[in-house]
Structure 1
Amino acid sequence: MADALPERFRVEILEGSIVASPTPSPKHAEVIRRISEQMSPQLPGDLACYQVLSVGISAESSEYASPDLTVFPIAKARESDDWLSAPDSVELVVEVASPGNARTDTETKPRVYASMGIPVYLLIDPRDGSLVCYSDPREGAYQATHRMKFGDTVVLPEPLKDVRIETADLPRDS
């Protein structure tokens, strides 16, 4: 098939554009594993961390994103057979920027996730050891932006108030 994506790419539709990103590296996956393992025991009992969960406005809209990590209600995960999850059920999304998709994660996704009304977007950038926690989405933009660096403790805002993530040992890109 001539117009098929090359192997190892995943697709999202963001702001009307098809965005193909390389499948994450093991180091990328390790960042997500460490974040998930820290967050999981701190979450309320009705929420859990999920990977490979796509979020979109509605089944009728072609726009959707597939965050690296999503905090989502366990009951909805157990009940739903739909491939697309409603953003009003999502409490947090996490993206790990990599050389192949950094612009999408740092520029496009803050707008997309804010327009979906997702309460918190945590961007982790192993390229320079930085983190940005976006929160308080209103009128298509996050109103609060908190910048940190690896080594800082991330304390998440509402609705995950007081969930803490230690970042000193997160792997950085070479």
Structure 2
Amino acid sequence: MSSSTEFLSDFKDATQSVISTRRPWPQFLSLSSLSLPSSFSDATTRITQNFTFFLFNYTLIFLLVLLLTLLPHPLSILTFVALFAAWYFLYLAREGDEPLNLFNLVALNDMAVVVGLGFVTVVAMFVTNAWVNVVVSVIVWGLVVCFHGALRGTEDLVVDDHDSPYGPMLSGNPPPSGGGAGGYTRL
């Protein structure tokens, strides 16, 4: 298999993996799931659980807010698209421990790639004067995540117990050995 075919296959697999974690927008925006948290602790727990469950949705909201703040600056949009492509090709799309081999000239470790791309990203933000837009986008996105996460109840976000190694203990069903869940067993 050629490298371009392999790349397209890897890209397709990565895309399908990310898309498989998305949640339906009607579930995300369900008005019947909104309620006030009973305490600050309940609010922070809700935010954490909702952020974990709706990560893909929140990421799309961030990208939309960032795009809207960058609309008056087309050069910044092009720069960020190029940076996203660089992050994807040089860091995110690689296999686990496989070193980066850039045109068979030099092998870089993960830390060098992250530091290099991070430096280029920060420089690009300042050169294009987009750093204010990025900061505003992060603040708006953070407020949206906290507001939605605190108000959206988590009762209907129960993940299938069979996905958990503690499934029988959580569901209240007796384990296959016949003992009761939650009861004491003599050792």
The TM-score with structure 1 as length reference comes to: 0.27
- In proportion to residue count, which structure has more helix? 2
Rg larger in 1 or in 2?
Answer: 2
Higher relative contact order (CA 8 A, sep 6+): 2
Normalising by structure 2, report the TM-score: 0.26
